[in-house]
Amino acid sequence: MVTEMPFVKIIDTVGSSPESWEQAAKNAIEDASKLPIFKQKGRITRATIKDFDVKIEDNKIAAYLCRVEMFLE
């Protein structure tokens, strides 16, 4: 018996927000969902936060950044 495995595409992106890492992750997913690949091939079914960073300007946090790995099925 052969079991079919679903096709999964993985997309890495970076989201940013001046407010929080949570908002940065949300922004990454919302922005990626507007890309043609997501509209043509399927939907985002899972996301994994890979890294958290901050952008510093004048010794203050200017933006929260997170690298998000999204799975498309």
Domain boundaries, the chain: 9-72
CA distances from 72 to 17, 26, 63 (A): 23, 16, 27
Label residue 39 exposed, middle or buried (CB < 10 Å: 0-12, 13-18, 19+).
exposed
pLDDT confidence tier of residue 41, bands split at 50, 70 and 90: low
Segment 28-34 shows an average pLDDT of: 89
**Six token digits for residue 47:** 């996301």
State the CATH architecture for 9-72: 2-Layer Sandwich (3.30)
Q: Which residue, 59, 73, 70, 72, is CA-closest to 13?
A: 70
How far is it, in rounded angstroms, from Cα 49 to Cα 66?
A: 7
pTM for this structure? 0.79
> Which of the two residues, 40 and 67, has the higher pLDDT score?
67
Segment 52-68 shows an average pLDDT of: 97
How far is it, in rounded angstroms, from Cα 48 to Cα 29?
A: 11
pLDDT value of residue 21: 95
